[in-house]
């Protein structure tokens, strides 16, 4: 609440004094219907979308001119950090907690609402503490729902990972890996890329899609179009704001 470009400049000053190896920087999601404590915060006291975009651009400028690499989306890392090196080598990954150098690792979540990923399956723990502890006391698996990824899910996961981590998607790589014709399978998504290309946020070539330097801050919006489930949920009014 009451955060401004000027106040965040002071925050950046403090960050640069501390010199952390990595920085995760993203805006606060105001969801008072889901989190009771947030109802005490007045929407008018929150920075609007334009202010948040300016704050992010200011942060990118300050951090990248002081020894940090903009990894993408919400992450920064020092040039000699493993994240920066992995991105340069094309081995960077992304998971629930952000960018990672750990490729294809299984994750077991502990605690309420935690999400586990094992192989091609996801499992979610209960939201309520009583439900979570009851399952543990009764010797049951403390999960209340799960999902097994299908072939289309795995393909889209690969595509989104390449866009978000490498800022480049080579069509031939997808075709050879999944046995599809890229332009046919992703005709809808490619059509959605044209406005981004018009504004020089992405570059569209016959053999690949490249997110431009200017478009890196909008890479989440670019990748969103390749997420079939997100497309369906936004039609239903789900939370998917970028700024």
Q: Are residues 74 and 128 in the same domain?
A: no
Judge if 10 and 85 occupy the same domain.
yes
pLDDT of 239 reads 46
Domain count, the chain: 3
Q: Is 169 inside any structural domain?
A: yes
pTM of the model: 0.82
* Pair of tokens at residue 150: 């299908």
Helices assigned H by DSSP within 105-241: 129-137, 151-166, 171-178, 182-185, 187-198, 219-224, 228-235
Q: Compute the Cα dihedral for 79, 64, 103, 123 and give only its sign.
A: positive
What is the residue-averaged pLDDT of the chain? Answer: 91
Q: What would the two tokens of residue 113 be?
A: 């609402």
DSSP for 206-223, written as a single string: SSEEEE-TTTGGGHHHHH
Please check whether residues 23 and 38 belong to one and the same domain: yes
d(CA 73, CA 88): 16
The pLDDT value recorded for residue 242 is 52
Tell me if 107 is assigned to some domain.
no
**Domain boundaries, position 138:** 115-148
User: Contact 174/156 with Cβ under 8 angstroms?
Assistant: no
Q: Evaluate whether residue 105 is within a structural domain.
A: no
182, 216: one domain: yes
Nearest Cα neighbor of 92 from 156, 19, 167, 174 is 167
Do 87 and 37 belong together in one domain?
Answer: yes
> How many residues belong to the chain?
243
Query: Does position 155 have pLDDT exceeding 90, yes or no?
Result: yes
Tell me the pLDDT tens digit for each residue of 71-124. Answer: 988 899 999 999 999 998 888 988 877 888 876 788 899 999 999 999 889 999
Strand-pair category, 145-148 with 121-124: antiparallel
- Does some domain include residue 241? no
In a domain, 104, yes or no: no
Q: Please indicate, yes or no, if residue 195 is contained in any of the structural domains.
A: yes
Question: Starting at the edge strand that comes first in sequence, how are the strands of the sheet with 75-78 ordered?
Answer: 22-24, 75-78, 68-72
128 and 68 inside one domain: no
Residue 242 belongs to some domain of the structure: no
Alpha carbons within 13 angstroms on the beta-carbon side of residue 61 total 9
Q: Which of 91, 107, 130 is the last residue in one of the domains?
A: 91
């Amino acid at each position: 609440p009451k955060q401004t470009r000027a106040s965040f400049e002071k925050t950046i000053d403090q960050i640069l004094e501390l010199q952390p190896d990595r920085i995760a920087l993203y805006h606060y999601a105001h969801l008072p219907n889901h989190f009771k404590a947030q109802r005490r915060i007045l929407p008018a006291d929150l920075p609007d979308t334009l202010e948040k975009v300016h704050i992010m651009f200011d942060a990118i400028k300050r951090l990248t001119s002081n020894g940090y690499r903009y990894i993408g989306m919400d992450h920064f890392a020092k040039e000699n950090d493993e994240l920066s090196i992995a991105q340069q080598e094309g081995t960077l990954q992304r998971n629930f907690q952000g960018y990672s150098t750990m490729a294809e690792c299984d994750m077991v979540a502990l605690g309420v609402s935690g999400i586990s990923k094992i192989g091609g399956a996801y499992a979610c723990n209960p939201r309520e503490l009583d439900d979570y502890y009851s399952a543990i006391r009764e010797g049951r698996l403390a999960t209340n729902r799960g999902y097994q990824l299908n072939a289309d899910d795995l393909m889209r996961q690969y595509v989104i990972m390449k866009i978000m981590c490498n800022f480049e998607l080579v069509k031939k790589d997808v075709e050879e890996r999944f046995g599809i014709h890229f332009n046919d399978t992703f005709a809808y998504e490619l059509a959605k890329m044209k406005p981004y290309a018009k504004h020089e946020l992405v570059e569209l070539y016959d053999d690949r899609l490249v997110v431009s330097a200017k478009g890196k801050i909008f890479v989440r919006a670019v990748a969103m179009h390749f997420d079939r489930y997100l497309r369906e949920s936004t039609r239903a009014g789900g939370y998917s704001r970028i700024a």
